[in-house]
């Protein structure tokens, strides 16, 4: 199976397993999605979804959040980890959204990535899941699986994103991003597979005798 065939096979198998791809982070606006994604850094979606109802009861828009003391935000989001940094970012980006963007989350990468606490991955999630623009956010699961499936050498996250965008159809990027994450959590975990065990790995690496050592994100 050559690289092009692997891309096609992976895409078809993931579509069979996950025809529906609900967004894992609970939100009811693009602003609350942005905050939830920011909180998810080095934290599970499950934990974020336990914290955000309390936070969004306090403030679910940038105008209200900008008035909240960062220390109050920190106390609520503490279970998500990195709370001093994240609470400061939430407070500051909320003020910027009010002062610069009229209370709206900007619909472009440049302005999103200029916000405190918002990197390329967070911006990509907001652009794809919030605004439905084609993007391919790469998290640890995607970075790991892209290497195990030999879709990318995984030199770094930036290169992995570039390789996946080149190999998959642009119209499928947003869905595939979630499908790969779901598969990585369910079938091809960091310790549960070595590039030869799960269904997709065993197929695309058929006959392989040694495990695939992946680079970390």
Catalytic residues, by residue number, are: 121, 139
Separation between Cα atoms, residue 22 and residue 37, nearest integer Å? 15
Separation between Cα atoms, residue 140 and residue 169, nearest integer Å? 21
How many residues are there in the chain?
Answer: 217
With residues binned 3-state (H G I as helix, E B as strand, rest as coil), the percentages for the chain, rounded to 5, are 60, 0, 40
Tell me if 176 sits within 8 A of 14, measured CB to CB: yes
CA neighbours within 13 Å on the CB side: how many for 152?
Answer: 25
Tell me if 118 sits within 8 A of 38, measured CB to CB: yes
Pick from 34, 14, 13, 39: which is nearest to 130 by CA? Answer: 34
Tell me if 163 sits within 8 A of 152, measured CB to CB: yes
Q: What is the DSSP letter of 215?
A: P
- As separate numbers, helices (DSSP H) first and strands (DSSP E) second, the chain gives 12, 0
Contacts of 3 (CB under 8 A, 6+ apart): 150, 151, 167
């Amino acid at each position: 199976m050559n690289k092009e065939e692997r891309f096609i096979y992976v895409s078809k198998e993931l579509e069979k397993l996950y025809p529906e791809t609900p967004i894992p982070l609970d939100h009811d606006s693009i602003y609350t999605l942005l905050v939830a994604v920011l909180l998810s850094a080095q934290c599970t979606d499950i934990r974020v979804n336990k914290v955000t109802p309390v936070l969004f009861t306090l403030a679910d828009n940038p105008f209200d959040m900008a008035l909240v003391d960062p220390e109050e935000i920190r106390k609520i989001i503490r279970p998500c980890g990195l709370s001093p940094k994240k609470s400061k970012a939430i407070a500051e980006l909320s003020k910027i959204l009010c002062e610069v963007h009229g209370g709206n989350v900007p619909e472009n990468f440049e302005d999103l990535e200029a916000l405190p606490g918002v990197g390329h991955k967070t911006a990509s999630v907001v652009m794809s899941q919030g605004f439905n623009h084609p993007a391919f956010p790469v998290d640890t699961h995607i970075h790991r699986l892209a290497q195990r499936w030999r879709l990318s050498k995984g030199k770094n996250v930036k290169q992995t994103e570039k390789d996946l965008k080149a190999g998959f159809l642009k119209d499928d990027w947003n869905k595939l991003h979630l499908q790969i994450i779901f598969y990585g959590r369910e079938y091809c975990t960091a310790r549960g597979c070595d590039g030869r065990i799960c269904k997709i790995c065993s197929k695309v690496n058929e006959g392989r005798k040694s495990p695939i050592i992946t680079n970390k994100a």
